[in-house]
Structure 1
Amino acid sequence: MDLGSLGVDGMRAAAGALSGSADSYQNEEEVELHWAIKAYHHAETYYNLISSVDNRKLKLSKHDDEIYEQFRKDFPDFDVKVLSEEELKSGDAKTKWRPFCNHFDGQVEDFNFGTLLRLDCTQDYSEKNSIFVTRIQFFAIEIARNREGYNLCNWNKKPEIQEETTETKKSETKEETTETKDKDVTS
């Protein structure tokens, strides 16, 4: 955005608005709805991705190696299979997570952007199985789940993928049966 296009009056108005207390601002429903839709689309895209490929080698960002190393250094015994809200949102948890998250400020784009995370890695996103976390927490936990093989249970789990796989297997079996019959006839 070119700030020069705002003009002097526009810049003064923006400066005045920005110098006010953040407490005086309220989220508008439209902004919240837009953010929720964006978070949902991100979650849907991610789940479709992990359920269609071997996710053990999946790269989520150009910083995956550093995120994973730092996560396992700071949280060596953190069980990523099934999470609880307490492990991510309690006062003690926030105290532990804050230095980890801030380590990636300036490195990982939108590191503190709100993102949906599945609590149980064997399940899809749902109201009961989702929690809002920062993007860097999402990256840390999902990179660990992928590298440690916990997300493999989701590979080929989506119904469309299962149907495609079943149809491919049926087609291959039918071709093999036809080839076998042809061999029997020519023998």
Structure 2
Amino acid sequence: MAAMALGPAEAAAAAHALSLPAEAFGNDPRVELAWAMKAHQHAEVYFNLISSVDPKFLSLTRVDDQIYSDFRSTFRELRVDVLDPEDLKSEQAKEKWRPFCLRFEGLVEDFNYGTLLRLDCSRSYSEENSILATRIQFFAIEIARNREGCNSLIYSSAKAPEVALG
């Protein structure tokens, strides 16, 4: 994904636009672009984080324990290492995800914002390895990946050159 930089004027305009109610825009492509840029930046920061800090020690929110516990009690059998988009987007999946997500309204800031999520956690973000999910879905799946050791490969791979040179 190519980085998209905003100048101060564009960043201020985007911040103002994002503070307005959604009804003010309809399907304004500028707003969609601003959201896409924000989601891309979030993805880039997160991937850099799990590449440089052992994911099993990461805390993503102040309620990680609650998110993980609720996630695993609701989605006992969901594989988090390689996601099937149907497990997030099918009508049956949405019926299960909706009440889960709403439990975190008021607990997790911007719980329903659009966020990029990797389908295969052993690979980086790319067009074919990313799906749009809500922030709480991202947190639930990434907290599970971190606690269950799925993201360790990214960290180990990023550290491998240091070990070889060290």
**TM-score, normalised with respect to structure 1:** 0.73
The AA in structure 2 aligned to 1:154 is I
Q: Which residue of 1 aligns with 2:139?
A: 139
Q: Which residue of 1 aligns with 2:83?
A: 83
The AA in structure 1 aligned to 2:71 is F
Runs of 4+ in 1 over 6 A off after TM superposition: none
The AA in structure 1 aligned to 2:79 is D
Deviation at 1:54, TM superposition (A): 1.1
Structure whose alpha-carbon radius of gyration is higher:
1
**How many angstroms apart in 2 are the aligned matches of 1:57 and 1:114?**
25
Specify every segment of 5 or more residues in structure 1 that has no aligned partner in the other structure, as ranges.
1-17, 170-187
Specify every segment of 5 or more residues in structure 2 that has no aligned partner in the other structure, as ranges.
1-20
The CA deviation string for residues 42-62 of structure 1, in whole angstroms up to 9 with x for no partner, is 001101111112111210010
**How many angstroms apart in 2 are the aligned matches of 1:72 and 1:154?**
23
Q: Which residue of 2 aligns with 1:5?
A: none
Deviation at 1:77, TM superposition (A): 1.2
Superposition RMSD in Å:
1.8
**How many angstroms apart in 2 are the aligned matches of 1:162 and 1:82?**
23
Paired residue secondary structure (2:151)? helix
Are residue 110 (structure 1) and residue 101 (structure 2) matched? Answer: no
Deviation at 1:26, TM superposition (A): 1.9
Deviation at 1:157, TM superposition (A): 2.7
**How many angstroms apart in 1 are the aligned matches of 2:57 and 2:152?**
11
- Aligned residue pairs, count: 146
Deviation at 1:105, TM superposition (A): 0.6
> Does the aligned pair in 2 maintain the 1:101–1:136 contact within 8 Å?
yes
Q: Which residue of 2 aligns with 1:8?
A: none
Q: Which residue of 2 aligns with 1:9?
A: none
Percentage identity across aligned positions?
57
Q: Which residue of 2 aligns with 1:129?
A: 129
**How many angstroms apart in 1 are the aligned matches of 2:66 and 2:74?**
12
**How many angstroms apart in 1 are the aligned matches of 2:85 and 2:143?**
19
Paired residue secondary structure (1:133)? strand
Instruction: Report the CA distance shift for 1:25/1:52 in structure 2 as closer, same or farther (over 3 A).
Output: closer
Q: Which residue of 1 aligns with 2:31?
A: 31
**How many angstroms apart in 2 are the aligned matches of 1:164 and 1:126?**
25
